[in-house]
Structure 1
Amino acid sequence: MSMASGGLSEGVVLAEQVTRTSTGEAVQFWVLATIAVLGALGTVFLKKAVHSALTLAATMVCLAIFYMAQGAVFLGIVQIVVYTGAIMMLFLFVLMLVGVSSADSLKETLRGQRVAAVLCGLGFGILLIAGIANASLGDFAGYGAGGVSPSGAVETDQEAVALINQGENVKGIAHLIFTRYLWAFEITSALLITAALGAMVLAHRERLTPRKTQRELSEERVRDNVNLAPLPAPGVYARHNAVDIPALLPDGSISELSVNATLRARGQVRDVSREPVHQVAELEESAEVWMEQRGDVPTARHEGEEAGPEADGTGEGAADVDPDEAGAERTDGDSVAAGAGSKESRS
């Protein structure tokens, strides 16, 4: 009787030590547990798949921190690297490649899939509840460096934990993965490769119609009768390549299509209809000055000056000239003078 009471007292002391937590551990647990539960609820109830994936990643990070807080650093790192860093990123890449619409489709692609999903979910839940309720936990069976169970019986939980960590827990897990559970490990890797191939297949889309040729595009543009020719580029006839300067059509008018509608609405279009005229006048004036300096080719102004009084019919040779010829000469002189005056007015 005394031995039984002594064993019971030792069990109570051990339970008190296990369940005893500090203030920091309690704060850490409640904060991370709240975030993990909210992330799990967001994974289930959020409408957009990308948001659900992000909340699931937050839940996995919280679980990894829980593992590290309990001393299982390797398990926490694996949780972050494998689940959060690999599987979740693969899931997001699949979403980005395939594309997800925010609108939910209420049409069933497979008849009766919702009823089957509900029945499968209920059956899986009942299976888990029955398995957990009938589970019997025995003593810890630790594994050494070679992955072999110790021959001696384990008396306390502390001895079992010491046996597990005796040959480095990471080496024991690695030995089990690549010996006893090698087939399951390879199946898991094949499943990930299949998911990547499925993403590429879903992202690849075959053309329903062949690519249109240049001839077909031109014929379609003619049939539409909207813009038969390419739109005029800015500054083609205005001798400018600025976007706020309209192009001039061959008749001298401004092409409205050559300037952006936003610039026209803001009133930022520069009027250059007079600039080409002034440029032409300056070119003509400079050409006349150059020709006057050379003196090789007589200009209209020189012809009028050289004619002098003979053009007016007041000179000595005016009496010998026929009146009809004099009138014709005056007409020619007046037209030349008028042309010179128009050039001077433009300049």
Structure 2
Amino acid sequence: MNTGAEQVMFWILGPLALLGAVGMVFARVAVHSALWLVMTMLSLGGIYILNQSEFLGFAQMIVYTGAIMMLFLFVLMLTGRDAGDSVIELLRGQRMAATILGIGLVALLVTGLLRSLQGAPSLGLNASLADRGPIGSIAAAIFTDYLFPFELTSALLITAALGAMVLAHIERKPSERRTQRQRVLERMRSDRMSPLPGPGVFATSSSNATPALLPDGSIAPESLSPLVEQSVAQGVVRRYATGAMLAELESGGHPRRPDAGSADPTVVDMSEMPVVTDDFVEADGADGAADRGARR
């Protein structure tokens, strides 16, 4: 960094990298920490390019920021980490132990860096890259002096993939598995509003005069239009319903379940009734025509 422009860029990218590292550590949301780390990696890539190491700089931006960090974000989304995670200390002394270990790690890194640089001559970029160039120097360091740590990195990536699988896997007991009927009944009994089925739904006939059946087997009276409700729906109950339901129909009310209270939906229990077919509609066609003529 001999020119003034390079020094200006360094003093811009350096604080940005430091700010991203601090934000990654102190962010309470895991996704925000990952985004802070993205800013740090982009700043480091720019610093590498300023130091005439273009290959390492673009590798930092493309591989780490574009691929590794996207993998981190996908893992965070898969494991369901969000702002609602608890930050309460579960183990007594956990924060104190983490603080001591963090300070010890920083002291170890600083000590090792100072001892490695003590007495080392400063050659400059041009002299250090004169033999092989930036790419050749990196290749020589990776495949000669640091071959074993480089191969060990592949095992680390496999461990990360296995850890993501373990975190995403949820062990379910056989008793906790709900059937489709149980899920439907829970949804019907909940407060969530859902549209009513149309005529002919869950039936063997597609006739508009066929009442729709709810998932529990009962009739949805609202599925029939007012023109056919009296002729067909009452005809179904008149032929198959119990005496109590027939009395409610004759009095002008809606049929209810035999065991339902006044607050339950006005539907007919069809668990013991056959499905209304086109033959049944044709058999009751005369009665239906008479009812429609009277209503007009």
Common fold by TM > 0.5: yes
Q: Distance in 2 between matches of 1:75 and 1:51?
A: 26
Deviation at 1:178, TM superposition (A): 1.8
What percent of counterpart residues are identical? 42
Q: Distance in 2 between matches of 1:47 and 1:120?
A: 20
SS of equivalent residue, structure 2 residue 35:
helix
1:190-339 correspondence to structure 2 within 5 Å = 190-210=155-175, 211-213=177-179, 217=182, 221=185, 233-236=197-200, 246-248=223-225, 249=229, 250-251=233-234
Letter in 2 for 1:88: M
Does the CA contact (< 8 Å) of 1:39 and 1:58 recur in 2?
Answer: yes
Does the CA contact (< 8 Å) of 2:20 and 2:37 recur in 1?
Answer: yes
Q: Identify the match of residue 79 of structure 1 among 48, 60, 85.
A: 60
Letter in 1 for 2:36: T
Partner of 1:181: 146
CA deviation profile, 1:133-182 (whole Å, cap 9, x unmatched): 55414226xxxxxxxxxxxxxxxx36x83463323331232133123211
Q: Identify the match of residue 38 of structure 2 among 34, 54, 57.
A: 57
Q: 1:116 to 1:254 in 2, by over 3 A?
A: same
Letter in 2 for 1:37: L
Deviation at 1:239, TM superposition (A): 5.1
Q: Distance in 1 between matches of 2:224 and 2:76?
A: 47
Q: Identify the match of residue 139 of structure 1 among 121, 131, 145.
A: 121
Does the CA contact (< 8 Å) of 2:53 and 2:134 recur in 1?
Answer: no
Deviation at 1:75, TM superposition (A): 1.4
Does the CA contact (< 8 Å) of 1:246 and 1:254 recur in 2?
Answer: no
In our comparison, the structure showing a higher alpha carbon Rg is: 1
CA deviation profile, 1:176-197 (whole Å, cap 9, x unmatched): 3123211101111111110011
Q: Distance in 2 between matches of 1:232 and 1:111?
A: 54
Does the CA contact (< 8 Å) of 2:31 and 2:76 recur in 1?
Answer: yes
Partner of 2:3: 21
Q: Distance in 1 between matches of 2:44 and 2:8?
A: 15
SS of equivalent residue, structure 2 residue 18:
helix
Letter in 1 for 2:138: I
Does the CA contact (< 8 Å) of 1:233 and 1:247 recur in 2?
Answer: no
CA deviation profile, 1:308-336 (whole Å, cap 9, x unmatched): xxxxxxxxxxxxxxxxxxxxxxxxxxxxx
1:114-133 correspondence to structure 2 within 5 Å = 114-132=95-113
Q: Distance in 1 between matches of 2:17 and 2:113?
A: 22
Q: State the TM-score, normalizing by the size of structure 1.
A: 0.52
SS of equivalent residue, structure 1 residue 179:
helix
Letter in 2 for 1:31: I
Q: 1:129 to 1:38 in 2, by over 3 A?
A: closer
Where does structure 2 lack aligned partners over 5 or more consecutive residues? 201-206, 212-221, 235-248, 256-264, 267-284
Does the CA contact (< 8 Å) of 1:53 and 1:88 recur in 2?
Answer: yes
Does the CA contact (< 8 Å) of 1:238 and 1:246 recur in 2?
Answer: no
Deviation at 1:131, TM superposition (A): 4.3
Deviation at 1:112, TM superposition (A): 2.9
Larger mean Cα displacement after TM superposition, 204-213 or 91-100: 204-213
Letter in 2 for 1:197: L
Partner of 1:308: none
SS of equivalent residue, structure 2 residue 19:
helix
Q: Distance in 2 between matches of 1:187 and 1:100?
A: 29
Q: Distance in 2 between matches of 1:118 and 1:106?
A: 16
1:9-48 correspondence to structure 2 within 5 Å = 20-22=2-4, 24-48=5-29
Q: State the TM-score, normalizing by the size of structure 2.
A: 0.59
Partner of 2:48: 67
Q: 1:233 to 1:33 in 2, by over 3 A?
A: same
Partner of 1:273: none
Letter in 1 for 2:224: A
Partner of 2:218: none
Deviation at 1:343, TM superposition (A): 11
Deviation at 1:81, TM superposition (A): 3.1
Deviation at 1:240, TM superposition (A): 10
Does the CA contact (< 8 Å) of 2:52 and 2:134 recur in 1?
Answer: no
Partner of 2:71: 90
Deviation at 1:119, TM superposition (A): 1.4
Deviation at 1:87, TM superposition (A): 2.9
Letter in 2 for 1:21: T
